Amino acid sequence: MALVVAENVVKTYCTGDIEVNAIKGADFKIEPASFVSFVGPSGSGKSTLLNMIGCLDHPSSGKLSVAGTDISTLNRQSSARFRGDNIGFIFQDFNLIPVLTIEENIEYPLLMVQDWPASKRKARINELLEAVDISAQAKKYPHQLSGGQKQRVAVARALATHAKLILADEPTANLDHDTAYRIIDLMKSMRNEYESTFIFSTHDPKIMDAAEIIYTLEDGKLLQQQGGTNHD
């Protein structure tokens, strides 16, 4: 069963009196454990689509289901619960909580969202710290880390709750090329290890090639689906 199913998804915004069609009837299916990229120029609708898949926004019309749940039926609380249970986020600016250490940042969704017992949390944090190779930084605070290290922490945090789906909106935009590739490699290896589905947006052609499936968006329209050229 597909993890994400979009059927004629439309998203329309109203900016004052002007109606903006951000997504104009998108249809696609994403299977579990896929490594998918949405590409397109700025304003093409990548972030809007990711926000809807991430249950942060609702389609204006059409049907969008994630992990078997029609997300347009969820209210604010249910959306939050659904995100906490099923979705992990990686942000362009890392968005780590500055007052928490690295291990506490990874612990946050386990404690504040899913309320795991302490022993399980500890084991999971150690596992992820090793998986993303930042065990040595566990007690540091985000401001003491480089951009690449921060994004590694963000990947670990997104994976902490065994999320089925990891959404990354321009995860490499604030990183130099080498670091960006290493982060994409890390995301892919995490997909291989934990079998979570990774969906990321990018406008960097080299980065998008790392994806197994690439959806191209232009002016709100999903133009084509193609396979990446750099599959494992």
Which residues of the shown chain bind other proteins in the complex (CB under 8 A)? 51, 54, 56-57, 76-77, 80-85, 87-89, 91, 93, 95, 97-100, 108-109, 111-114, 157
Minimum distance of other proteins from residue 12's CB (angstroms): 15
Q: 32 near 164, Cβ under 8 Å?
A: yes
Closest approach of Cβ 184 to other proteins, in Å?
21
Return the number of the residue (118 or 123) whose C-beta is nearest other proteins. Answer: 118
Alpha-carbon distance of 62 to 168, in angstroms, equals 23
Residue number with CB closer to other proteins (10 or 113) = 113
Which lies closer to other proteins via its Cβ, residue 108 or residue 194? 108
Whichever of 97 and 223 has its CB closer to other proteins, that residue is 97
- Which tokens in the block code for residue 105? 């940042």
d(CA 60, CA 65): 14
- Report the nearest approach of other proteins to the CB of residue 227 (Å): 29
CB of 112 to other proteins, least distance (A): 6
Q: Which is nearer to other proteins, 57 or 103 (CB)?
A: 57
Q: Which distant-in-sequence residues (6+ apart) come within 8 Å of 215 by Cβ? A: 28, 36, 37, 38, 39, 222, 224, 225
How far apart (Å, rounded) are the C-alpha atoms in residues 128 and 49?
A: 28
Centroid of chain to Cα 131: 18
Task: Compare residues 105 and 216 and give the one whose CB is closer to other proteins.
Answer: 105
Q: Minimum CB separation from other proteins for residue 113, in Å? A: 4
In the complex, the smallest distance separating the C-beta of residue 231 from other proteins, rounded to whole angstroms, is 29
DSSP labels for 143-208?
A: GGS-HHHHHHHHHHHHHTT--SEEEEESTTTTS-HHHHHHHHHHHHHHHHHH--EEEEEE--HHHH
